[in-house]
Structure 1
């Protein structure tokens, strides 16, 4: 049974001066609960990202759908999404700077137990949460759905605090199986606890029901896969429940 939740927008600032607007969702609770950062696909902090935050709240977690572009900008046009995403690559510190500001903002909310934090990312958001973990952020768990795996800088031994779960589509042409192998090698070298699940017949964007529509409109190789989505969500919640269990209703 889904829990009753509350939602609100929260404006915050990154050290690079960008004004960001996140979407916060949390269960109605008398005590602070574990919390999950939700990093968006390259489309920006849109309805899909907010939906995932609400679902997490209904499962007993506070959740914060974060803004990586500023002023909660969103688009459905791939060329615009790519341009905004690429802007965050121009300075190698931008992604971690903005994600760290979001994590600090999430941890400061009165509904949140700041000792129990995790992060989930979709597509571009996968890179966001992995780079945040690589930076040594105080995360218990990190999950990526069809995420970009290439690091800002490879993980260093003793730096990553999170257990990492990567959910990947076998037919993903944007993040290849060679990229997955390189990621595994990086994690093994840094002795990071991790698991990679590869879903058969799943493309990039497999978790988003709008992936086929976006693929057709933009001429990009995306595809929704309901089985992969549901299996991925089950694996995500299993990890979150195990790592953050004491705070979940």
Structure 2
């Protein structure tokens, strides 16, 4: 009886000390650019678990992107917030953000290579089940993960939150291997209704497993609690608690279905 009690106390102590572990990991893109990844996992989860790449907003690899990696780790995933700009740079100035974003997207092959470098880094982590990978992206990152799906990057699923939908590289029949979930705000002034219609038509034509959720009244940036203060900088974004919570719940369901789990 005493041994059983001791075992129970030890297990409870281990559980009490289990928590999300994080670390920054330097890596290098194919073009030689120095990148910084932010890795998170829950050490209470035993063995390997699905990996999720997180792609930041146009602001760069900031605290919000890192927070989302931790949130995913708390759900039991191996999560890596990757760096699409280089050296982990980020900003709160819209002009700088636009410049960073345009530079990152001007060469589609280079953007894909940067994403793949981050995905490969996630695969290498000992907690990651390399056969089960997804990607989620916000704003600029939402476009990135959609473009990766369009180009047939080997992912099981991608989720775009208030992402840009237009692209110069459209999916073709059979090119989209990943399941696709798009969480879009109906009041997003940065994405036109034509863009929404074009994406839906594109995905149907490509034969993709595609879902689009239109969140009523939500503006661009609806998942980010910091969005409201960026309004002062002339950016039409706003946090929407209801849309944030619904889209996160939708993502959990989607990833759970994608990986055959109960998340």
> TM class by shorter-chain length?
over 0.9
Conserved 8 A contact 1:130-1:151 = no
Alpha-carbon shift at residue 128 of structure 1 (Å) = 0.9
1:220 aligns with 2:218: no
Name the CA distance, whole Å, in 1 between partners of 2:28 and 2:175: 25
Name the CA distance, whole Å, in 1 between partners of 2:189 and 2:96: 20
Match of 2:7 in 1: none
Match of 1:183 in 2: 199
Conserved 8 A contact 1:39-1:121 = yes
1:36 aligns with 2:52: yes
Out of 223, 239, 253, the position equivalent to 1:238 is 253
Conserved 8 A contact 1:174-1:204 = yes
Name the CA distance, whole Å, in 2 between partners of 1:177 and 1:237: 26
Aligned length: 247
Name the CA distance, whole Å, in 2 between partners of 1:11 and 1:180: 36
Name the CA distance, whole Å, in 1 between partners of 2:54 and 2:183: 15
> What SS does the corresponding residue of 1:97 show, helix, strand or coil?
helix
1:64 aligns with 2:48: no
> What SS does the corresponding residue of 1:93 show, helix, strand or coil?
helix
Match of 2:34 in 1: 19
TM-score by length of 1: 0.95
1:9 aligns with 2:24: yes
1:95 aligns with 2:111: yes
Name the CA distance, whole Å, in 1 between partners of 2:234 and 2:189: 13
Which structure has the greater CA radius of gyration?
A: 2
Name the CA distance, whole Å, in 2 between partners of 1:5 and 1:221: 34
Match of 2:97 in 1: 81
> What SS does the corresponding residue of 1:150 show, helix, strand or coil?
coil
Match of 1:153 in 2: 169
1:105 aligns with 2:138: no
RMSD: 1.6
Name the CA distance, whole Å, in 1 between partners of 2:254 and 2:105: 29
Structure 1 gap segments, 5+ residues each: none
Higher relative CO (Cα under 8 Å, sequence separation at least 6) belongs to: 1
Alpha-carbon shift at residue 152 of structure 1 (Å) = 3.9
Out of 123, 130, 145, the position equivalent to 1:129 is 145
Name the CA distance, whole Å, in 1 between partners of 2:125 and 2:49: 10
Name the CA distance, whole Å, in 2 between partners of 1:238 and 1:131: 22
Structure 2 gap segments, 5+ residues each: 1-14
